[in-house]
Amino acid sequence: MMWQAGPRRQLPDAKMALVVLLICFVFNMLGRGIGDTYVTFLLPLETEFGWTRSELSSVYSIYMVANGLSAPFVGILFDRWGPRLVYLLGVGSLGLGYFLAGNLTQLWQFHLCIGVAGGIGISAIGMVPSASLISRWFPHSTSTAIGIAYAGFGAGTLVLVPFAQYLNQAVGWRDAYHVMGGSLLIALPIVMLLPWRVIRAGYGAREKLRNSQRAVDDAFTNANTSVQPKSSPLRAALRHSGFWGLAQAFFFTSVVVYTVLVQMIAYLVSTGFTPIEAASAFGFAGMLSVLGVGSAGRLADVLGPRRTATLTFMCTTLGLASLLALSYFPSHWFLMSFVVFFGIAQGARGPIISGLCSKLFPGPGLATIYGVAYACMSVGAATGAMMSGFLYDWTGGYQASIIFSMLNVILAVSPFWVYRELRKFG
């Protein structure tokens, strides 16, 4: 009987680990997908209000800044109060902001609803809580599991961006915002009813919930002994050069991606493709990113983070070169080349950096530390979005943005080769 008791106790934990991974995947899909839908609203808003491209890009930039600056606070809130409050805050903020966006008439109102409320909401349901939960449930295959959760980003882009484009054309941009925001608000009771106490506990800690939450926290603390600083975990991480290497990689990778991503649909339309073709290309790139992101974590576990990251940046460069060629030689072949190379590498650095963060700073405070690093990613995305609008208004075209993005690839990949703390994982 004692021999049989072990499997019966372990089987629910194994199943629960998969449930937690699925939850992280779904919330990442919703957050990233809804955030990326702004690219489908760019032209309708420009047509109705006559705002410049830099003004329109500023909404996305504020969204990314709010997403990044709120990430450390989301991590602190997660470490202190757990995932239930964090996810309810995220879904509620995102749903309310997008529902109200359907009634707006001023640019500052979009800054507030789409930028601030949307950014905070997406941060609260994104990779900051996911990375901490996954490290608790997948201690031996963290990078692989994080890669699967990150694949939700690509799935969200694949599903929600074309859907938003369809809503824009079918019911108009105002009702499109109403549909997306209202759906999230309706989902709040479902989020409330998820078994968050068990989800928070981590693998092997379910039975200890019967005694006290303190026992759960102690079990999780004692399970991670690689880094146990006496001072604040965040303060210790800020003194670690590996943290700054991850922050640099996060920042410049986002500059590379979002300098072209925000105006990708408008750019493709300007080269002769229809809005649906452009949105479909955007979504197909997201679909390929599911494959790339899902494989990146596993490749990092097998080949090492440095080689895997370098390979993904080579694909990104080839994709950007194809996108640049489109401005001179419009062709479905160049479009296909861009979608394949850029799409398969889009987001692939996320699980690599997240996996390294969980290895460098395991234990209490991981959500807070990752939140600060994630903030650098969001600030980089905001910088890229602003530069894309500025360069378009300055030059009247998109070539300067693409070249600027290609130059930033060097700064994005260099931490994996320069920082000693990151090289040792190569």
pLDDT tens-digit readout, 83-119: 999 999 999 999 999 999 999 889 999 999 999 999 9
Distances (CA, A) of 60 to 118, 192, 204, 388, 397: 10, 29, 41, 11, 19
Q: Which long-range contacts (CB under 8 A, 24 or more apart) does 307-315 make?
A: 307/426, 308/348, 308/352, 309/249, 309/349, 309/352, 309/413, 309/416, 310/413, 310/416, 310/417, 312/345, 312/348, 312/349, 312/352, 313/345, 313/349, 313/409, 313/412, 313/413, 315/341, 315/342, 315/344, 315/345
Confidence of residue 231 (pLDDT cuts 50, 70, 90): low
Residue 143 has pLDDT above 80, yes or no: no
- Whats the size of the chain, residue-wise? 426
Residue 246 has pLDDT above 70, yes or no: yes
Taking residues 69-73, what's their average pLDDT?
85
In the structure encoding, which two tokens stand for residue 406, read together?
A: 């290609």
Least confident of 175-179, 203-207, 291-295: 203-207
Task: Give every CB contact of residue 157 below 8 A, 6+ residues apart in sequence.
Answer: 32, 33, 36, 282, 283, 285, 286, 287, 289
Residue 410 has pLDDT above 80, yes or no: yes
pLDDT, mean over the chain: 82
Confidence of residue 13 (pLDDT cuts 50, 70, 90): confident
Return d(Cα 69, Cα 377) in angstroms, integer: 10
Question: Angle 375-380-383 (CA atoms, 0-180°, nearest 5)?
Answer: 130
In the structure encoding, which two tokens stand for residue 163, read together?
A: 């859907």
Return d(Cα 156, Cα 163) in angstroms, integer: 10
Confidence of residue 277 (pLDDT cuts 50, 70, 90): confident
Residue 222 has pLDDT above 60, yes or no: no
Taking residues 39-49, what's their average pLDDT?
87
Confidence of residue 366 (pLDDT cuts 50, 70, 90): confident
Task: Give every CB contact of residue 48 below 8 A, 6+ residues apart in sequence.
Answer: 173
Return d(Cα 212, Cα 234) in angstroms, integer: 26
